[in-house]
Amino acid sequence: MHGDRDAGSRARRRAGGHRRLLRRRHAPRSPGRRQTRLEPGAGVHRRARRAGSDGGELLRHRRAPGERAGPPPAVGRVQAVQLQREDRPGAGDAGAEPPPGDPRFLRADDVVRAGAVEAGRHRARRRRGRAVGEVHPRRPREGHLDLLRRPRPGGPAASDRRSADRPVAAPAFARLSSDPQQRAVSGGQEARAQDVSVERLAPAVRELLRAEIRAAHGREVSFVGGLDGNGAIVTARVAARGTVDAVLALPGIAQRGELLLHNHPSGVLEPSGADLSVAARLHDGGVGFGIVDNEVTELYIVVEVPRPRAAARLDAVAIAGLLSPRGAAAQALGTFEDRPSQRDMAAYIADAYNDGGVALLEAGTGVGKSFAYLVPALAWARANGERTVVSTNTINLQEQLVGKDLPALARALATGEHTPTFALLKGWRNYVCLARLEQARGAAGSLFETDAAAELEAVAAWAGRSADGSLSDLADEPSDDVWDAVAAESDLCTRLKCPHFERCFVFQARRRAAEADVVVVNHHLLASDLAVRLASDNWLEAAVLPPYRRLILDEAHHLEDVAARHLGAQVSQVGVQRLLGRLERGGRGLLPTLTRELAEREDLLSAASRDLVTKGLGEALRSARRWADELFAHLARRTESETPLRLTEAFAEDPVWAEGLGVALDNLLVAFDRLRDGVETVADRLALDDPAERKAQLLGELRGVVRRLAAAAQGLTAALRPAPGGGPAVRWLERRGRRQANILAAAVPLDLAPLLKESLFDRVETVVLTSATLAAGREFTFLEERLGLDRPPSRVSVREILASPFDFPSQCVFGIPTDFPEPRDDESGHDAGVARALLDLAHASDGGLFCLFTSHAALKRTAQAIDGRIGGRWPLLVQGTAPRDLLLRRFRELGSAILLGTDSFWEGVDVPGRALRVLILAKLPFRVPTEPLTAARLERLSEQGLDGFTHYLVPHAALKLKQGFGRLIRSKSDVGAVVLLDRRVVTKRYGAMILEGLPRASRVVGPWQEVLETCEEFFARHGIGAPA
């Protein structure tokens, strides 16, 4: 809630904000002469302060003289002013000063005589289609991203917030020639404007407003008005009712193109500071703002409903031409491969930018989908000044976009007037926080062991030379404990109060994102942004991401699973232990550090706080540790025989509760509450007594830990003992870790389709979903159902499968042996068949082989079976023995290696050239039907009368198989063999649909010997195989 202050306090507020007013105040004057001087008024902040669970803001109005409390005598009324835009000075102008005596300009020392304007009234005068005080629209590129800035040394304090999209400086008022100027409006002009504006209310609307205000006994009421094509207010509905001097302005209550109205019972229509703040925020969301009196005889439009500028349409043919052999991209890149499917895809996306809606575009391997969507995105930004968010699932694709594709296109598409810009934005914890780093180094002796302290110094040295402060830029990744102590956290950030704010890596990244034409993120960050917007009902302003109206989802088939994890809760045993360890472990941690800080002071308040830390908080911490250990011990015993263990309603009657799980959970929650209360008590005491920055940072760290413990408490409750009446959720327990068990408790939403449809796809003007695997078979039905895109009204405007430019019949042979046992019927027999096929093909191709499995157990069995039979000719690389990237690098370098991998190798792996020439897919990649999330989704389909195997498991397997198949042929020069060791694809009815979506490679189906001979002949034609 945003409360207004009285006129005196407003006069004392500092000048600032990205929108500024000129406020006339009457200076001391001699009798008979009235002087007026100009002073900067209160800044209009884009985001008003919020409070309370309502999430609303309070609109307060200035009282009329004599009503309750009048303004201090020294403060004069605010008079109407009019904005007049002047041409900005040219490069050859003598200076920024206006010409002396020029009547068009006001100077700081000018004397302006007040007109005959009714006391306290602030009325609108229309000029050039805009109202007084209207915030001029920015370039359509924004949503803006609010950024904080520190006061500038040696000058007036800067405002708390500015727009990085279009920063507006606060020049000296004697140098205003480059900004819109203000001029006094006569009383007659003001009255005429008033008479005109009140007629904009249709008679029925005036009666409705008057009746509702009377029904509220003259208190403030807010309304949402609808406008016709001429700007008349022809409809209205009540939004909220308040008190005699305040009413809630609920976020999201008015939609783009509507007008928020409220009454001032005093009859004084002058907007208060809170009014102006809310008006500024609403304007950025396309909503106008106005004030009426109780009898609805007067209307003052503070901000007109922004009229959207007609977007400059893209020429789809011209966009495709940029990717032609003679196009700008080809000329700039030098080596450019003509891809007709790429040009088609770019044209489809250009149409989607022009007309809006959702485009589903499956782009086969080799289409070059990143250029196909980046070129229209950059062209749209140049034409309309509007950013596009590009979201990917894998880090590899992010790095390709930011490190290779976007720099190349920026050079290719640059003009004399516009150079494309782009930025990579990561989550907060990916960046080092310089303030936390400084605090950790100062208390390293009480926070860390010797080895960790050395790691901390290495991080500090790196942070001093790093350009972006991102963890991925750090050569030797530190331990979790060290990074936890120095990673940036949004709830610990002090923003402009931080001494490191100007160099802050997080805000540098956010500034770059605010100004970029294309912002690259991953699905996790996109889902986090969606979660924040849902929780705060904020759809107009910056959240985790800057506001956006154009979204491209690459690797879009992962969106549902990523969103489920971020919109749910997961709490692990190791995570809780780490949080408690941050407070104290082995005599080190935040609490011992705070105790030492307090011991240096001898005043009574510090002594009392020290006792509270050592006794109260120490006891609460010991209690939390004890009950956390007991709770996770109960859960560990429960998952010994089954993991993951799905928690259904029957879990409420499980014997584990009688064994002590309920007591442990209750006591753990109490201990977490005691830690939170104790930390808040200490922080409140010390904030009054010692505002030192170092201690404030330490207390901020403590608050951050207890906030995370509170979130863990909520997660445990949601997973183990959810409150009745919540939405459908999937809950489970999972045992992780090899050496030491790490128990995970999770609860995620079951059905995300309605949420994604309403909160993402329906709110974004243009959405492009692309991937090499969107269509199961040749249909997009599965994806549309999972993401809610099939729900009416459907916004899907195009569904297209863009063929790969590769010649698969000549580049690839696809073998399906029919004489190997089916995996479900004879597991050991199938394992033996996999080992045999692997060895036979390794001899035929001289290594260079991937074998992909659907389970770690099957991978281990095969690795053991072949380990002693391949000799030293073909190095064996097994997932789990080294990091994934290291295994891939060694595979590329060796040229004849055999790599065994599971899920993470089925996609996002790119090994062009002869290093990879054989791909074995051990079995069809069906999801495990007993896995909690899968089981719950299958049950939901069954409740709807649908067969879960046909509608969920088979389409998912088809998409996954297509991803795996795509690992082999990555360029027009690649050749090789793909072998699927699962005959169900040709013996079961569903097999035809799965095969239909695969590339049209030369196919051989039959006994293993026939498949092998066909592969050997193919290898011989292409010079593949062991030398004779």
pLDDT digits (tens, 9 = 90+) for 811-840: 999 999 999 999 888 999 999 999 999 999
For 5-9, 324-328, 577-581, which range has the lowest pLDDT when averaged over its residues?
5-9
Taking residues 529-554, report their average pLDDT: 87
User: Which residue has better confidence, 416 or 684?
Assistant: 416
Assign 363 to helix, strand or coil: strand
Taking residues 673-688, report their average pLDDT: 82
For 275-284, 296-305, 446-455, which range has the lowest pLDDT when averaged over its residues?
446-455
Kind of pairing between the strands at 388-392 and 550-554: parallel
DSSP 481-547: HHHHHHB--GGG--GGGSTTGGG-HHHHHHHHHHH-SEEEEEHHHHHHHHHHHHHHT--SS-SSS--
Contact 362, 770 (CB under 8 A): yes
Confidence category of residue 643, pLDDT binned at 50, 70, 90: confident
User: Which residue has better confidence, 110 or 400?
Assistant: 400
Closest residue by Cα to residue 373 from 532, 505, 518, 262: 518
Q: What integer pLDDT is reported at residue 855 of this predicted model?
A: 93
Question: At residue 44, does pLDDT exceed 80?
Answer: no
Q: What integer pLDDT is reported at residue 1026 of this predicted model?
A: 62
Confidence category of residue 318, pLDDT binned at 50, 70, 90: very high
Q: What integer pLDDT is reported at residue 651 of this predicted model?
A: 94
Q: What integer pLDDT is reported at residue 546 of this predicted model?
A: 87
Round to whole Å and give the CA distance between 554 and 394. 10
Contact 910, 841 (CB under 8 A): no
Q: What integer pLDDT is reported at residue 1027 of this predicted model?
A: 56
Q: What integer pLDDT is reported at residue 870 of this predicted model?
A: 81
Q: Tell me what percent of the residues of the chain surpass a pLDDT of 70.
A: 78
For 96-110, 222-236, 421-435, which range has the lowest pLDDT when averaged over its residues?
96-110
User: Which residue has better confidence, 553 or 34?
Assistant: 553
* Fold agreement (201-303, 808-1021): no
In the structure encoding, which two tokens stand for residue 195, read together? 């008479």
Taking residues 279-292, report their average pLDDT: 86
The answer to whether the peptide bond before residue 724 is cis (omega within 30 degrees of 0) is no
Domain boundaries, the chain: 201-303, 322-421+518-557+764-803, 422-515, 586-749, 808-1021
Confidence category of residue 163, pLDDT binned at 50, 70, 90: very low
Question: At residue 281, does pLDDT exceed 90?
Answer: no
Q: What integer pLDDT is reported at residue 913 of this predicted model?
A: 86
Side-chain-facing half-sphere of 887: CA atoms under 13 Å: 19
Contact 917, 1018 (CB under 8 A): no
Look over the chain and give the mean of its residue pLDDT values, rounded to a whole number.
Answer: 79
Question: At residue 10, does pLDDT exceed 70?
Answer: no
Round to whole Å and give the CA distance between 591 and 874. 55
Round to whole Å and give the CA distance between 147 and 165. 10
Q: What integer pLDDT is reported at residue 75 of this predicted model?
A: 34
Q: What CATH superfamily is the domain 322-421+518-557+764-803?
A: P-loop containing nucleotide triphosphate hydrolases (3.40.50.300)
Question: At residue 146, does pLDDT exceed 60?
Answer: no
Round to whole Å and give the CA distance between 698 and 619. 20
Confidence category of residue 621, pLDDT binned at 50, 70, 90: very high
Q: What integer pLDDT is reported at residue 231 of this predicted model?
A: 84
Span 171-208, pLDDT tens digits: 332 222 223 223 333 444 444 344 446 688 999 999 99
Round to whole Å and give the CA distance between 927 and 952. 9
Eight-class DSSP state of 313? P
In the structure encoding, which two tokens stand for residue 621, read together? 């911490």
Q: What integer pLDDT is reported at residue 856 of this predicted model?
A: 92
Taking residues 715-729, report their average pLDDT: 89
Q: What integer pLDDT is reported at residue 256 of this predicted model?
A: 81
Confidence category of residue 112, pLDDT binned at 50, 70, 90: very low
Contact 747, 564 (CB under 8 A): no
Taking residues 2-12, report their average pLDDT: 40
Q: What integer pLDDT is reported at residue 319 of this predicted model?
A: 96
Contact 831, 866 (CB under 8 A): no
Question: At residue 669, does pLDDT exceed 90?
Answer: yes
Span 707-718, pLDDT tens digits: 999 999 999 999
Q: Exposure of 821 by Cβ count < 10 A (0-12 exposed, 13-18 middle, 19+ buried)?
A: middle
Q: What CATH superfamily is the domain 808-1021?
A: P-loop containing nucleotide triphosphate hydrolases (3.40.50.300)
**pTM confidence score:** 0.72
User: Which residue has better confidence, 349 or 14?
Assistant: 349
Span 486-506, pLDDT tens digits: 899 887 887 877 888 889 999
DSSP 148-217: E-PPPTTSPPPPSEEESSS------TT--TTS-EEEE--HHHHHHHHHHHHTTB-HHHHHHHHHHHHHTT
Question: At residue 667, does pLDDT exceed 60?
Answer: yes
Question: At residue 35, does pLDDT exceed 60?
Answer: no
Confidence category of residue 1010, pLDDT binned at 50, 70, 90: very high
Q: What integer pLDDT is reported at residue 6 of this predicted model?
A: 42
User: Which residue has better confidence, 775 or 309?
Assistant: 775
Taking residues 638-667, report their average pLDDT: 92
Span 439-490, pLDDT tens digits: 888 777 666 666 777 888 889 999 999 988 998 888 788 888 888 888 998 8
CATH of domain 586-749: 1.20.140
Eight-class DSSP state of 886? H
Span 394-410, pLDDT tens digits: 888 888 899 999 999 99
Question: At residue 168, does pLDDT exceed 50?
Answer: no
Q: What integer pLDDT is reported at residue 629 of this predicted model?
A: 95
For 63-72, 218-227, 1007-1016, which range has the lowest pLDDT when averaged over its residues?
63-72
For 90-94, 99-103, 428-432, 768-772, which range has the lowest pLDDT when averaged over its residues?
90-94
CATH for 201-303, options being 3.40.140.10, 3.30.70.1050, 3.40.50.1820, 3.40.640.10 = 3.40.140.10
Q: Tell me what percent of the residues of the chain surpass a pLDDT of 90.
A: 49
